[in-house]
A = this chain, B = another copy of it.
Amino acid sequence: MKTTRNTTAKTAVLEVFEKSKTALSHTEIQKQLNDICDRVTIYRILDRLLNDDIIHKISNQDGTVKYAKCNHSHQKVHIHNHAHFSCENCNEITCLETVKPSYIMPHNYKVNEINFTLSGLCPKCLNSNI
């Protein structure tokens, strides 16, 4: 059985996530790490963290991919049913943990996951744009 190790790079990446209030792209993580490791290493760390349900991936409408820490209290079954907000002005993506959409599906579909992203102006940008 394959065990996971706590390397310095992985710890550093986790610290970056811990400090950030918003979701982060691979490039943003790399910049914050000040090149303490190779970019491939960051990709592999992200893969592991995704696999261990420590972070989740958010694909934005514009094609950018970001990652954010999961803040669930380690349930057995891990479901990401919350929405995300993408600000058109500052391009920050935040988890909206409280926003869970309700919807009616046609028959004969099996839904395993949902991805609900809203875009517009975040509170910060809305206030500064009065």
Interface residues of chain A, those whose CB is within 8 Å of chain B, are 57, 59-63, 65, 83, 85, 88, 96, 98-123, 126-127
Q: Per a CB cutoff under 8 Å, which of B110, B113, B119, B123 touches A115?
A: B119
Q: Which B-chain residue is minimally distant from A119 (CB atoms)?
A: B113
Copy number in the complex reads: 2
Residues of B within 8 A of A127 (CB): 108
Q: Are A114 and B118 within 8 A (Cβ)?
A: yes
Residues of chain B with a CB closer than 8 A to A118's CB? 105, 109, 111, 113-115
Q: What are 10 A-to-B residue pairs whose CB atoms are below 8 Å?
A: A59-B62, A100-B103, A102-B102, A109-B118, A109-B122, A109-B123, A110-B126, A113-B118, A113-B120, A114-B118
